[in-house]
Amino acid sequence: ASATMIGTSLHTLVQMVDNGLGLTMLPEMALDAGILNGTEVIARPLKAASACREIALVWRKNSPRSDEFRLLAEELRAG
C-alpha cells in the first residue's frame, strides 16, 4: 500500500522530495528563484503544451478598495 502525503509549502514539498518521499510539480518561477538550491532534486520540464495554472485575485467583501480591485481584475482579464 502506498501512502499519500500532501504539503502546501513549496519549500516543504522540495524537502520531502529531497528526502526521497516522492515527487512534486513546481511553478517555473519557484525554480527560477532557486528553490532547488542546496538540494539533490532534479527538475524536468513538462512537455505537454496544455499544462497551465489558474490564479485568482481575491479581496475582502468589505474592502474600501473593492472598486479598484474590480478594475484591476478587468485589466488582468483583458491581458
- pLDDT score at 43: 96
The set of residues, in sequence order, having a beta carbon less than 8 Å from that of 40 and lying 6+ positions away, is 18
> How is the chain split into domains, by residue range?
10-78
The band of 50, judged by pLDDT with boundaries at 50, 70 and 90, is: confident
pLDDT, tens digit (0-9, with 9 covering 90-100), for 6-24: 888 999 999 999 999 989 9
pLDDT, tens digit (0-9, with 9 covering 90-100), for 26-44: 999 999 999 999 999 999 9
Residues 28 and 3: beta-carbon distance below 8 Å: no
Record the pTM.
Answer: 0.64
What DSSP string runs through 1-61? Answer: ---------HHHHHHHHHTTS------HHHHHTTTTTTS---------TT----------T
- pLDDT score at 1: 57
